[in-house]
Structure 1
Amino acid sequence: MESDTTCIVQYLVSSRMARNIIEAGIAEAERVGHALSFAIVDTAGHLVASARMDGAGPVTIEIARGKAFATAATGGQPGDSLAQRFQENPQVWGNAGSLGYGAPMLPAAGSLPIKIDGRVVGAIGASGAPSAVDVAVISAALNAVIGSANK
């Protein structure tokens, strides 16, 4: 008689997936004419992958990481929502800023959760262009690699 076993599906952002998302982000940033930095973290906020395009400012990589960390730390809240929460209560967010494992926790537009089958598996942040461009680029990258599963 076969035993009844339960498979546990682990949802996480793999390093391969992270690299693919970043490559898609670089391609999209080049297409729209901006040099960006990208950072992808897992749900615990640990860095999985990052890249700074030629021409992106040196601090943009840490800003991207801080944006991604804030999204991960809040369970997948997109950066624009976090920026609004910061404006409403800056003292709370100001005190949380140093929690990012070596990068600041930045509640700012330019980050999105990474989802698989509706579950948050990580977050991506971008920096180097106006926030609307950062968001458009990472949205396109997520769509290119994950597609509708990231909804």
Structure 2
Amino acid sequence: MTNRITHEAALLGLAAGIRKAKELNQRSTLSIVDDGGHLIASVRVDDAAFGTIEIAHNKAYTAAAFRQSTAAWMEVVQPGAALYGLERSCARPFVVFGGGIPIVDGNSVIGGVGVSGGPVEADEAIANSIVSAIQQQ
């Protein structure tokens, strides 16, 4: 893999994610962004709710922007926690539940993946399959 995500690698990642979504019987949207949070590729699997489009993109953006899984934020943004309200402090929606995973090349985050449409466990499994496919390029 290079230090950036090509559209070819993104398309291979989406293909892997679609296979995983079908395996899990999930109707989801899958999104991939670069290190600046700009959309590279996205697909809405047949019959996925249209509301999943923006959520998937926001998960990918959050994972890339903050360089960690979106699931890592849930506990620290709860009322009384150290970062309560953080998810409302950004101009772009900041997602604090699972399904967003950064794409890493060595020590650098080169993008993010976001999946929305299923339970968190399914979104994360699909996102992991996309990241794995991209990192194999």
Classify the TM-score, shorter chain: 0.7 to 0.9
Task: Report matched runs for 1:25-64 at 5 Å.
Answer: 25-64=17-56
1:92 partnered with 2:92: no
Determine whether 1:141 maps to 2:134: no
- Hey, what does 1:17 align to over in structure 2? 9
Q: 1:121 aligns with which of 107, 110, 113?
A: 110
Secondary structure at the residue paired with 1:33?
A: coil
Amino acid at match of 1:132: E
Letter in structure 1 aligned against 2:52: T
Distance 1:77 1:25 in 2: 19
Aligned residue type for 1:52 = R
Report if aligned partners of 1:71, 1:107 keep a CA contact under 8 Å in 2. no
Q: How does the TM-score come out when normalised to structure 1? A: 0.80
Q: Secondary structure at the match of 2:85?
A: helix
Among all aligned residue pairs of Structure 1 and Structure 2, give the percentage whose two residues are the same amino acid. Answer: 30
TM-score by structure 2 length? 0.87
Q: Which has the higher contact order (CA 8 A, sep 6+)?
A: 2
**Cα distance in 1, alignment partners of residues 6 and 89 from structure 2:** 31
- 5+ residue gaps, structure 2, are none
> Contact (CA 8 Å) 2:13, 2:129: kept in 1 or not?
no
In 1: Cα distance, 2:34 partner to 2:69 partner: 15
| Alignment partner of 2:68 out of 77, 80, 91 | 77
Checking the alignment, whether the CA contact within 8 Å between 2:74 and 2:96 is kept in structure 1 is yes
* Number of residue pairs the alignment of both structures matches: 133
Q: Taking structure 1 as reference, are residues 137 and 20 closer, same or farther at Cα in structure 2, changes over 3 Å only? A: same
Tell me if the contact between 1:111 and 1:123 (Cα under 8 Å) persists in the aligned partners: yes
Give the Cα separation in 2 of the matches to 1:77 and 1:119: 11
Structure 2 Cα separation of the partners of residues 47 and 81 of structure 1: 22
Q: CA RMSD in A?
A: 1.8
